[in-house]
Structures are given as C-alpha cells and as structure tokens.
Structure 1
Amino acid sequence: MEEHSGGCAKTPAALKRFTEAARRREMLYITLSQVPEGTVVTYGQLAELAGLGRAARWVGTQLRNLPDDSRLPWHRVINQAGRLGVPEGSEAWHEQCQRLRTEGVQVSNGRVSLQHYRWRP
C-alpha cells in the first residue's frame, strides 16, 4: 500500500527513512535546546548527547539548514578545536561571535576555550 503526500507516492521504506530522519532531528533539537546560556558544545559532543553516535557532520548539516527564524541556540555549537563553525568573517560568523559574547562567552580570534566554556551536563 502506498501513501500519497503532496502528489508524490511514498513507499513504506521511504516513509520509514523519513520518520527516522525526523526522529533524529527531534533528538538533536531537544538536546540543543538544553545547552545553557554561556556554554558551548562541539558538533560531536552534541551528537553523542543526543544519542546519535558519531554524527558530528550530520549535526553540522542540520544546523546549517535551520530556518532563519529558528529559536534554537545554534550559536552555542563549535568545532572540536574550539573554532566557530561558520566561515570566518561571514555574517553568520559575526552573529555567532556577538551572540556568544552577549552570553558572557569570551571569543578571541574566532575561538572559544573549551576548557572554560564547554557544557558538562
């Protein structure tokens, strides 16, 4: 039996993949929403905390595709070297710096001290 959505037929396998992807995103978003103000997490740490295993790149892709009006604290996610996860000098880079600084996180040359600011739940 096929289900139709928006004029496109979806097989049971396709629906299962869609549902699994939605579940993974939901776990990511729930975990990200819990990262406290004034702290940061790495992409890999966020994936692990969300129960997604070693999915740092997938996390980055999901955050990059967040809607512009998202209220999730994407700016609290940085790479494993402590660098901001967006291209240096870009509008998003400046926005991430500003948001972190507003929360009391020291950003120096696009880097954050994981030793001082990493979230340890």
Structure 2
Amino acid sequence: MPSSSEPAAGRAGEPATGEDFASRVLAVVDSIPPGRVMTYGDVAAALGSRAARMVGQVMAYYGGDVPWWRVVRASGHPPVDHEHLALQHYRAEGTPLLGGGTSPYRVDLRAARHDAG
C-alpha cells in the first residue's frame, strides 16, 4: 500500500487531484509547441483523466503563466471571452485557422492538434 505522502496519481492509475492535478495540467499546456493546440479533453487524456471541465477550471485560475491560447474547445474555438487576444497569438505562431482568421474563427484541429502522448 502506498504511503500517504505518495501523490494520488501514483495510486492504481487514479488521476491526480487538487494541486497535483493543476500542476500536471500546467506542465502539459507548457509543453504544447508554438502553432499547435490541444483541446481541454486532450489535456485531460494526457493525464489519464476524463476531467476536461476540471482542466478548464485549472486554466481559468492558473493558466495565465502558460500558453493558455494553445488549449481550445473541442470545436476548435478559443477560450471564451479571449478570442481576440488568442487570435493575435495564433497569427504570431502561424497556427492553422478556419473561418478566415476573423471572428468567428476556429483553429484547424486536423492541422494543429498536438499529441502529447
């Protein structure tokens, strides 16, 4: 049996929770290369979890220090209420876009999706 000091992620494949989950989410997001994106679900899956909404919560509270614009909704749309700022980052990084690169637009997931696995 694991000791109480062992992280939750180490217990029988359970996903990490709390601060450990947040730090793992931020590490995955920080590893996404320029011009590429992952969905909230992709980030969760990279951690062995299905908690896409929890990834969204982590990004809302702690995502300012990582390339937050590289995490998009399953539709390819950028984070809500950050579309204009995200568009500036996508253009600077050459991220493939659909919809002419103006609002409404979305990231071309077929071309830009990053596989963290």
TM-score band w.r.t. shorter chain: 0.7 to 0.9
- 1:110 offset after TM fit, Å? 2.3
SS at match of 2:106: coil
- 1:20 offset after TM fit, Å? 4.0
TM-score with structure 1 length normalisation? 0.72
The letter for the 1-side match of 2:42 is Q
The letter for the 2-side match of 1:26 is S
The within-5 A match list for 1:1-121 is: 20-51=17-48, 53-66=49-62, 70-87=64-81, 92-107=82-97, 108=99, 109-121=104-116
Q: Which 5+ residue runs of structure 2 have no aligned equivalent?
A: 1-7, 9-15
Q: Which residue of 2 aligns with 1:10?
A: none
- 1:33 offset after TM fit, Å? 0.8
TM-score with structure 2 length normalisation? 0.74
**CA distance, structure 2, for counterparts of residue 79 and residue 20 of structure 1:** 22
Q: Deviations over 1:3-56 (max 9, x none)?
A: xxxxxxxxxxxxx9xx940111111111111111110000000111123x1111
Structure number with greater Rg is 1
- 1:98 offset after TM fit, Å? 0.8
